[in-house]
Structure 1
Amino acid sequence: MLTIHTADELRVSWDADPLKDGAVAVEGDRVAGTGPLDVLLERFPGARVRSWPGALGPALVHEGPLPEAPSPRERLHAVLKSGATAVLQQYADTPDLRAAASRNEVAVLPRATKPEITDTGRADLAVFDVDGACIATVCAGRLVHRRR
């Protein structure tokens, strides 16, 4: 199902200028389009809309050791709760962590990259409030974290 994620502002990269009332259309695990909400609603009639307060942008890359937790799944969930959908290979250093990352579609990268939202790119998104706390994380098109 096609979903449009919208927020007070959209940033296709975290250093890009914000687009007020911007949105990202997601189909499956891919970005189907970005732009003003009204344009995407016209382009994708009938899409489900998820509205978020704050800033919507690309999910982050977790660049340090994974948080301590009782299991690999919980360690990765802590990363997802922070707004990241990728970890560095050097920190996914056990077979259990790599398997958990694969099951949860968390990307394991050889080096840090600058995250950005691109048309047809993987739908990895995060929403942050004005204080920088993560409100929601979308990993490969799936909503995997939502702050209540």
Structure 2
Amino acid sequence: MLTLHIAPLLRRAPGDEPVPGQAVLVGDDRVEAVGPLTELTEAYAAVRVRRWPGVLGPGLLHDGPLPTAPTPRERVHALLRQGVTAVLAEHLADPSLRAAVDRSDLLVLPTAVAPTLRPDGRADLAVHDVDGVCLVTVVAGRIVHRRA
């Protein structure tokens, strides 16, 4: 099912200035399109729409050890609450931690690569408010965290 993710501002890559009037179209686990909201709503009038407050952008890369918590699952969940959708393999030596990361569908990278929103890329998104608090995390097209 196609889903159009809309927020007041969209950032395609870390460090980019967020721009208004843009949206991301997601199908399954891939980004189908990134572009002007008016064009995407005209071209895909029947899709499910998710409207978020804040700035929509690519999920974050966590490039250090995972946060401490009582269980591997809680360590992964702490990342999802921050908008993290990718981690570095070097920090996953513990097999139980690696299993928890794999179950969550977080992207495991051999080296740090800046995340971007681009057509045919994996649908890893995050929405942050003006204070930087993560409101929503989408991993491979699935909402895995939503702030209450």
TM-score, with length taken from structure 2: 0.95
1:125–1:139 contact (8 Å) kept in structure 2: yes
Q: Which runs of 5+ in 2 are unaligned?
A: none
**Residue 87 of structure 1 aligns with which residue?**
87
> Secondary structure in 2 aligned to 1:108?
strand
Does the residue aligned with 1:53 lie in a helix, a strand or coil?
Answer: coil
Please say if 1:39 is aligned against 2:39: yes
Match of 1:64 in 2: 64
CA deviation profile, 1:43-85 (whole Å, cap 9, x unmatched): 2121111111111000000111111112111111111110111
Aligned residue in 2 for 1:139: 139
Distance in 1, matches of 2:59 and 2:109, equals: 14
In structure 2, how many angstroms separate the alpha carbons of the residues matched to 1:72 and 1:105? 14
Matches within 5 A, 1:45-56: 45-56=45-56
Whole-angstrom CA distance in 1 between matches of 2:100 and 2:44: 34
Q: Percent identity?
A: 54
Q: Deviations over 1:114-137 (max 9, x none)?
A: 111110100000111111111110
Note the C-alpha offset of 1:94: 1.1
Residue 35 of structure 1 and its aligned partner are, at CA, apart by 1.1
> Shift of the alpha carbon at 1:87?
0.9
CA offset at residue 18 of structure 1?
A: 2.3
- Classify the secondary structure of the residue corresponding to 1:25: strand
Cα distance in 1, alignment partners of residues 79 and 9 from structure 2: 23
- Is the CA contact (8 Å cut-off) linking 1:11 and 1:18 kept in structure 2? yes
1:21 aligns with 2:21: yes
Cα distance in 2 for partners of 1:145, 1:37 equals 24
Out of 37-46 and 3-12, give the one that drifted further. Answer: 37-46
1:115 aligns to 2:120 (yes or no): no
For residue 19 of structure 1, report the CA deviation from its aligned partner. 2.3
Letter in 2 for 1:4: L
Name the structure 1 match of 2:2.
2
Give distance in 2, aligned partners of 1:103 and 1:61.
Answer: 17
Report what 1:74 is aligned to.
74
